[in-house]
Amino acid sequence: MPVIELCRFAEDETSRARHVHDHDVVDLAAECWKASGGDDADLRQLETSAREAWLGGPLPVDDLAVGAVTAALLAAAELAIARCVRRPAVTLSAEHVALSFRSERHVLQSGRPAGAGFAPLSRIVRCAGGGWARTHANYPHHAASLRRALGISTDHDPVRALEAAAASVDVLELEERVMNAGGVAAALRSPDEWAAHPAGCALAADPLVAWEAGAATAPRRLPRGAKRQAPAAGIRVLDLTRVIAGPVAGRTLAALGAEVLRIDPPGLPELPAQHLDTGPGKRTAVLDLADAARRERLLAGADVILLGYRPGSLDRFGLDHAALAARHPHLVQVALSAWGATGPWANRRGFDSIVQVATGIGAIAAAPDGTPGVLPAQALDHATGHLMAAVALRGLIRREHGEPVLPARLSLARTAAALVEAPRPSLSTTAATGAADPERYRVRYGELELIAPPGALDGVPLRWRHGPRPLGGDAPEWLD
């Protein structure tokens, strides 16, 4: 079994050489690994060197990050065995994991920061009666919906206009008005308030990874040619995801050797800076999924499909779980949503920052004056992305062994619940105790500098074959 070493390289390791069993880390790593279908026995040799709270905060974000990345790397090692390759040794730096969970903050282009941040109308606002809400308007169509819902004129300072509009309306009314207008917003709730909310109650019934009954894969052998350092080589992944979590899953699989093809619909804009961070290693094409001939050729040639749109939104293209399984029973299906597939919020739009506020994380991390706090990274996105990759790899292993693989679904809100419910170890402090060094883990593609994918197999660090390609610049077809 692989031994995963979580090493802090920023200090003299001779003074920190003793290994300890950190039970809190093992607990979260075990939850992530078990959720993906892994065997508990594979975690018995998990060792951690003395660690810092690289991310910090009042919740065990560092532990969630390490646990999610661990699950993906362990699954990659198992896939190597399933493909008749010797199991690679797996090593991992907790410092590197923390940097990768903030990868968008470390994107450099020509030496200058170029990562995606938050737009002016994506912010926390105070509402009438003292409530707090968070809005998300990074995408132009969501910003337009927010302005329309709250009557914000484009002729005025947008931030002041948003704050004034929010101050005149109750927080729950603001939430409903914005969401009903096609925008994205959430009221601040405590963990108890979220647990009592119908959406929270529906989510509580879901495991971290839910498996859809009634539609399973049929056997299909994996192509030959895997390597210990690239156990996913030759595997084709159709990436129908956007924003961060799904694209992180795709870039993780690409770093393990898979051919990942991202498909975007025509006319739906993506943030260029966001693509710089999540696009390395993939090809990217534009395709109207109503083009049945091209769509079906891609599905027939894929081994894995990653789905990141709201539940039901792609059903008209025959991309629901049952229809996919009927036409392409070989596909390992992994789907992502913000709020889960059941309950009153299943079809709502949501992003990491919005889910944090709604599910109680914003309240847990609140400032003394009650202003909602935030996690030190968009950890719900990144952790869920790595878990999606782990689930896809585990599905391929089961399919290779001739075992049925049910479609899997994950949600940002369920990952949030795992974080809130996890033990809060002593290393999770309000301030990070370790200062991660991005220069240790940069990878360069021309004028672009990114944080490399975390982890190494048999001592060889994971790497992408190329940097992000122009969004939509490739043909919507598989390579020969």
Measured in degrees and rounded to the nearest 5, phi and psi for residue 354 equal -70, -45
- For residue 90, give the H/E element and its range: strand 90-91
Three-class DSSP category at 22: coil
Burial class for 463, CB neighbours closer than 10 Å (0-12, 13-18, 19+): middle
Can you point out the beta strands (E) in 243-331? 259-264, 282-286, 304-307
Question: What single-letter DSSP state applies at residue 183?
Answer: -
pLDDT at 444: 97
Task: Give the domain ranges of the chain.
Answer: 13-114+426-461
Burial class for 61, CB neighbours closer than 10 Å (0-12, 13-18, 19+): buried
Handedness of CA 385, 240, 392, 258 (dihedral sign): negative
Confidence of residue 432 (pLDDT cuts 50, 70, 90): low
Q: Span 328-339, mean pLDDT?
A: 96
- Angle at the Cα of 199 (from 336 to 212), degrees rounded to 5? 40
Q: Span 22-26, mean pLDDT?
A: 45
Measured in degrees and rounded to the nearest 5, phi and psi for residue 10 equal -75, -15
Other C-beta atoms closer than 10 Å to the C-beta of 216 total 17
Three-class DSSP category at 157: coil
Asked if residue 423 has pLDDT above 90, the reply is no
- C-beta separation of 355 from 419 below 8 A: no
Question: What single-letter DSSP state applies at residue 6?
Answer: B
Asked if residue 21 has pLDDT above 50, the reply is no
- C-beta separation of 7 from 16 below 8 A: no
More reliable by pLDDT, 3 or 60 = 60
Q: What is the pLDDT of residues 335-350, one digit of tens each?
A: 999 999 999 999 999 9
Q: What is the pLDDT of residues 261-278, one digit of tens each?
A: 999 999 888 899 999 999
Percent of the chain at pLDDT exceeding 90:
77
Q: Which residues contact 160 (CB under 8 A, 6 or more apart)?
A: none
Tell me the two tokens of residue 281. 């290693």
| Separation CA 30–CA 36 (nearest Å) | 10
Confidence of residue 331 (pLDDT cuts 50, 70, 90): very high
Q: Of 49-58, 126-135, 146-155, give the range with the top mean pLDDT.
A: 126-135
Three-class DSSP category at 368: coil
- C-beta separation of 300 from 306 below 8 A: no
Q: Which residues contact 219 (CB under 8 A, 6 or more apart)?
A: 330, 399, 402
Tell me the two tokens of residue 385. 């992305």
More reliable by pLDDT, 24 or 312 = 312
Q: Span 33-62, mean pLDDT?
A: 77
Confidence of residue 153 (pLDDT cuts 50, 70, 90): confident
For the residues of 200-242, what is the DSSP string, one character each? HHHHHTS-SSEE-TT--PPP-PPPS--BTTBTTTT-EEEEE--
- For residue 144, give the H/E element and its range: helix 140-150
Q: Span 363-383, mean pLDDT?
A: 95
